Amino acid sequence: MDKLIIAKAAAVFTASVLTACGMAGNSEREDSNGELSSVSAKQVMITAEGAKADISALSTEKHGYGQGVLVDDKNRTTGALDFNSAYGKYSAAAINEDTDSITLTFDQGYENGYTAKILDTLKEKKVRAVFFLVQDYAERNPELVQRMIDEGHTVANHSVHHYSMPSLAPETARAEIMDFHKYMKDNFGVEMKLFRPPMGEFSEQSLAVTQECGYKTMLWSFAYADWNVDDQPEPSAALEKLRSAAHPGAIYLLHSVSSTNAQILGDLIDGLRADGFELE
């Protein structure tokens, strides 16, 4: 009997503090006069083990991620490994340490006419990529987004407005993730699970907010200057740079607005395979 009472009390407590993202919110209780009054609870991360951390107490210091140029004996960028070590507890990674395969990811800020060609190449080469979308992209390009889904690629969350996540209050950061999550679920039937913070900017708090929304943060272990459409890298030099940077578990950040990326993608995939790497 005692166990049953305890279990019921625990269930009532849990229901009173959880919100859609697993955060404590407002609950109600009776005051001494029997009237209901609102009680503001602290925002805490909730995990299977229970309340773990007060979100508001976590650091809001902004960090701008970059993988750096230093590498280990496997050619893995040490900046990515250091990020994993420091922030893995928030379900965040910049390199895949549990696989040797290379993952190609594309940030989709706006459409520049090359995504269809990139999808053609990926289909021809039988490679599945991750496409990080902002909501405006999904709204403006539903046919391309549906094609990504139909051809087995992962569509992932790059936020609603592409704001710097560590500059936002937790509830606003949460909305940047979950409002787009709802849009994709309602319009494409997809429940996204991966998030890439805009501009690679993060804080300990923003990573924790992302985690408690049920997302994993995916950064990258290699990126290069491909985003400036008015100053595109020379194709042969870009191909050499991308191949020479290959390493086990690599996460490549590419931009689909790049004419160079669209041009060299097939050769890159062939070259990586020739160098002994598998692609997702």
Tell me, what amino acid is at 13? F
Active-site annotation holds for 158? no
Q: Do the strands 130-133 and 194-195 form a parallel or antiparallel pair, or are they unpaired?
A: unpaired
Among residues 109, 157, 114, the alpha carbon closest in space to that of 136 is found at 109
Three-point CA angle 186, 142, 124, nearest 5°: 120
Instruction: From the candidates 63, 153, 181, 255, give the one annotated as an active-site residue.
Output: 255
In order of 17, 40, 83, 169, 209, the CA distances from 26 in angstroms are 7, 5, 34, 17, 18
With 0-12 / 13-18 / 19 or more C-beta atoms within 10 angstroms meaning exposed / middle / buried, residue 255 is buried
Instruction: From the candidates 63, 107, 153, 181, give the one annotated as an active-site residue.
Output: 107
> Element (H or E) spanning 29, and its range?
strand 26-30
Q: Do the strands 251-255 and 222-223 form a parallel or antiparallel pair, or are they unpaired?
A: parallel
Active-site annotation holds for 255? yes
Give the residue numbers marked as catalytic. 107, 255
